[in-house]
């Protein structure tokens, strides 16, 4: 009976886990698509890298989705078993606790092993590749030639260029240029112009011919108008440096050899995710136990609260390690103990309170 019950529980939990993880991944993918498309439109990304950036983002999101998906999958699966009285029938027929915990523990170990490989190896590589792709796409978009009849932004949005036509020799006709330098706004109109880029790709040079330049501070009555035969407009491309993403892109081997608190904190975070998966899966079994006439989803909100508290504690611990506020040796192990005690209080608290109440009445 134990093997049959174990296989049945494992099938129910796996099904619920896959459904929950799939739904959460779909939601995050939708958000990821919106973010990538916004950046692609703002920075003129080539079309070929958009799908790859979305896929790499989904791979990074799996590190968080797997633990919460497994937690909710176990709670939903056992919630149905308790609600339909299948678990009551199994326990009445002599099912032992190991028949219930073993399949869940087996699944948790498999998912935790996959999550360890993902968080320690795949996710950093995916983050590094995404950063490289984003940098290359930004550079390719900035170096692309100006298209006629379309507005083009440069320098992180500080400059806007419009050309009505592009001649065969590469020169531009009927050009509009708007540039912001602090509070000062410069607008230039020229009959023709040329666009060049420095070899390092960090500066765009627009040479305008036969036009006018208007400059002033918006809201002020003082504006200056200058007519020119030739006017050079340099536009600096800003460096995009994301320290957090760069830290996430470091390889685990590099973090192991690093004495820097921020990198040690990132290492502890990567190790915490697989352990979090096991802790949440095992806590979900008693957490999903329902009282008579309780709905099958009665414990889902408690599971969600526990996950968010767990995640918040781990994030705070990571920050404290990075700031050297707590000993690095302590790591994030205290978060696992704190969540286990909290879950036990939620699970055993009501029964203990009832027993104390009955004893008080007897006295």
CB 294 within 8 A of CB 321: no
Please state, in angstroms and as integers, the Cα–Cα distance from residue 11 to each residue in 281, 319, 335, following that order: 15, 39, 30
CB atoms within 10 A of CB 83: 16
Higher-scoring residue by pLDDT: 115, 340: 115
Dist CA 16 CA 294 (whole Å): 19
pLDDT digits (tens, 9 = 90+) for 227-247: 888 888 877 665 554 444 577
Chain mean pLDDT for the chain: 80
Dist CA 212 CA 210 (whole Å): 7
Residues 6 or more apart whose Cβ sits within 8 Å of residue 257: none
Dist CA 91 CA 207 (whole Å): 83
The helix (run of H) or strand (run of E) holding residue 286 is: helix 261-287
Q: What percent of the chain has pLDDT over 70?
A: 85
CB atoms within 10 A of CB 153: 17
CB atoms within 10 A of CB 349: 10
Average pLDDT of 157-175? Answer: 80
pLDDT attached to residue 141 = 56
Q: How many Cα atoms sit within 13 Å of 134 on the Cβ side?
A: 22
Q: Two tokens at 323?
A: 């700031």
pLDDT digits (tens, 9 = 90+) for 29-72: 887 777 777 766 656 666 667 777 777 777 878 888 889 999 99
pTM of the model: 0.70
């Amino acid at each position: 009976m134990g093997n049959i019950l174990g296989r049945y529980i494992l099938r129910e939990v796996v099904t619920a886990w896959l459904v929950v993880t799939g739904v959460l991944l779909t939601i995050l993918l939708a958000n990821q698509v919106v973010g990538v498309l916004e950046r692609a439109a703002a920075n003129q990304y080539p079309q070929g890298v958009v799908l790859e950036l979305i896929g790499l983002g989904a791979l990074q999101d799996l590190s968080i989705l797997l633990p919460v998906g497994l937690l909710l999958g176990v709670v939903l699966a056992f919630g149905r078993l308790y609600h339909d009285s299948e678990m009551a029938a199994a326990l009445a027929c002599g099912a032992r606790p190991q028949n219930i915990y073993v399949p869940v523990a087996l699944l948790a170990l498999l998912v935790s092993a996959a999550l360890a490989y993902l968080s320690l190896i795949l996710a950093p590589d995916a983050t590094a590749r995404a950063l490289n792709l984003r940098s290359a796409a930004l550079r390719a978009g900035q170096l692309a030639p100006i298209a006629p009849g379309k507005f083009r932004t440069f320098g992180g949005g500080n400059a806007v260029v419009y050309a009505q036509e592009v001649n065969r020799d590469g020169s531009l006709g009927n050009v509009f240029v708007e540039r912001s330098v602090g509070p000062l706004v410069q607008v230039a109109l020229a009959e023709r112009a040329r666009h060049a880029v420095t070899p390092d790709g960090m500066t765009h040079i627009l040479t305008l011919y036969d036009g006018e330049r208007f400059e002033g501070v918006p809201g002020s009555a003082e504006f200056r108008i200058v007519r020119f035969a030739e006017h050079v407009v340099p536009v600096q491309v800003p460096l995009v440096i994301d320290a957090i993403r760069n830290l996430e892109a470091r390889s685990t081997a590099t973090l192991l050899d690093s004495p820097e608190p921020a990198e040690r904190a990132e290492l502890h975070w990567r190790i915490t995710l697989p352990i979090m998966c096991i802790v949440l899966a095992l806590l979900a079994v008693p957490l999903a136990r329902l009282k008579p006439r309780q709905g099958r989803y009665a414990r889902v909100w408690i599971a969600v609260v526990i996950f968010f508290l767990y995640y918040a504690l781990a994030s705070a611990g990571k920050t404290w390690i990075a700031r050297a506020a707590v000993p690095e040796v302590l790591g994030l192990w205290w978060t696992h103990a704190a969540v286990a005690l909290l879950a036990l209080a939620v699970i055993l608290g009501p029964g203990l309170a009832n027993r104390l109440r009955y004893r008080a009445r007897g006295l």
